[in-house]
Structure 1
């Protein structure tokens, strides 16, 4: 999920995570800390098959702010430059805040069309050496060609159709890794459940494919939005993935949520740190107005995020200009509840 109204210093969003998962992520963060920006060139990722998706759309139509896919194209550019074999399958249109929503066929089949997209001119030749040619596809919910009026598929839909069927037309045994992003806006704290960027990564986990979600922080100052750190986030992404591969940590079930800070003039970028999901709400959603018991209309707007209450939170790290790396379990089961459930269920005899 993204928000152009999120404060540059206050952050937050996702499900509560176990400290054991955060500890496992620290192994990767420690390695990445030595090379957050690879000055000597891109890491070597030759042979790595990468499926890229996002929740900002595949088409990259917004050349100004980059709200609908610029981050995806920067990620594609960086990984192709590092030698990875890249295929893009993403929603046809903007799907910020879609979470892990997936199209349901109900009692009749629902058509999902995977349609080729021409990359923006600035990124046209980035992946010429890849076996896939860096092919880009958008997914819409239609039996015919996708258009401006066609309902779009969700980020989870895009991953679902790619990993179950479409990616096999390029790689017989599928990708080695799924990347989601680079998202326009941070995905931290209590609102992670609603993030389409994270939802796509969690969907990849259902197929046993490791997945990383990358997000770039949006500043509160609207004049600074053209400078959202897409390219910097993409450079860090290649470095993190390379270190994950070299350390033999790229394993099924691995899901990382990475948030790269917007560093204003006079500020300094901090190191990558292992974090847990915060409890605050990055957007601070507020319902304004008084509605009687008979019903009526509220005005929903962005407000002030609540103070963070969790130690080592992603929200706190991002507020300090550190690169937040959180390992997600992608599993709703709370193992610590086993004792409680045993007591409750014995009451049923």
Structure 2
């Protein structure tokens, strides 16, 4: 099995090295093509107005001056045009991609691009800020990731779906199990702005993003992570709200 890795934290991020360790437990044929700098929250951005450069870092490891989506496109079209990967893994992201996060996540976007190009793809993220840990427990993703992927590969999934895997920020032995979930929705606004005075006059803004807990129902990705479970949510790109469409057509 040929596996391609990407992410949105950058080719030198800790998470993609963890992902490589996970992937090597499934196959010896592992490739990496990821952004050369952090592209968090890049969503499905494509560099249509700037050139994209590809750089070889090591054997089967490359960086791209662009987004996660760019990385997958360049890998598929330039690195392996005649021998595409059998599986694309995006992550392991430094922080959760749950609920509304998935619509602007570069991690999820990398997997969605792989799916769109006909390759089974999975997004993987490690939650942070919920269990009070002083540092991210990367060993949790490393310990549970291989079996989670093996189980997914055994079960299979639809061609137009991306499994969105989130690991809880608990110690390895604190993970309670795996739950298959639906996308949740938070009951508060996560984003804001920090307005500051510019030394040369006028204002400028830092965009802020919160991470406090909401109160989601059982069965959602949020609740699973809060309760210490690995969450796996099948995502797809069809954003049509069927009930509204049916009402508008009457």
Same fold (TM over 0.5): yes
The residue that corresponds to 1:112 in the other structure is 52
Is it true that 1:70 corresponds to 2:31 in the alignment?
no
Q: How far apart are residue 187 of structure 1 and its match?
A: 0.8
Aligned to 1:215, the other structure's residue is in SS state: strand
Change (3 A) 1:78 1:297: closer
The residue that corresponds to 1:80 in the other structure is 24
Aligned to 1:174, the other structure's residue is in SS state: coil
- Distance (whole Å) between structure 1 residues aligned to residue 207 and residue 52 of structure 2: 32
- Distance (whole Å) between structure 2 residues aligned to residue 269 and residue 116 of structure 1: 37
The residue that corresponds to 1:24 in the other structure is none
- Distance (whole Å) between structure 1 residues aligned to residue 152 and residue 114 of structure 2: 17
Deviations 1:116-145 (A, max 9, x none): 114xxxxxxxxxxxxxx5x110001xxxxx
Deviations 1:258-295 (A, max 9, x none): 11011169x832110011111117983334669xxxx9
- Distance (whole Å) between structure 1 residues aligned to residue 130 and residue 246 of structure 2: 45
Aligned to 1:218, the other structure's residue is in SS state: coil
Change (3 A) 1:55 1:283: farther
> 1:288, 1:298 within 8 Å by CA — same for their partners in 2?
yes
> Normalized per residue, which structure has more strand?
2
Out of 131, 134, 137, which is 2:62 matched to? 137
Higher relative contact order (CA 8 A, sep 6+): 1
The residue that corresponds to 2:109 in the other structure is 199
Which runs of no fewer than 5 residues in structure 2 stay unpaired? Answer: 197-201
Q: How far apart are residue 245 of structure 1 and its match?
A: 2.9
Out of 141, 165, 170, which is 2:78 matched to? 165
Q: How far apart are residue 180 of structure 1 and its match?
A: 0.3
* 91-100 or 332-341, which deviates more: 332-341
- Distance (whole Å) between structure 2 residues aligned to residue 304 and residue 89 of structure 1: 29
> 1:286, 1:301 within 8 Å by CA — same for their partners in 2?
yes
Is it true that 1:313 corresponds to 2:242 in the alignment?
no
- Distance (whole Å) between structure 1 residues aligned to residue 131 and residue 150 of structure 2: 34
Q: Please report the TM-score for the alignment, with normalisation by the length of structure 1.
A: 0.63
Q: How far apart are residue 251 of structure 1 and its match?
A: 5.1
Aligned to 2:90, the other structure's residue is in SS state: strand
Alignment length, in residue pairs? 246
> 1:191, 1:281 within 8 Å by CA — same for their partners in 2?
no
- Distance (whole Å) between structure 1 residues aligned to residue 91 and residue 164 of structure 2: 10
Deviations 1:188-222 (A, max 9, x none): 11222111101111111211211111111223699
Q: Please report the TM-score for the alignment, with normalisation by the length of structure 2.
A: 0.85
Aligned to 1:327, the other structure's residue is in SS state: strand
Q: RMSD between aligned alpha carbons? A: 2.9
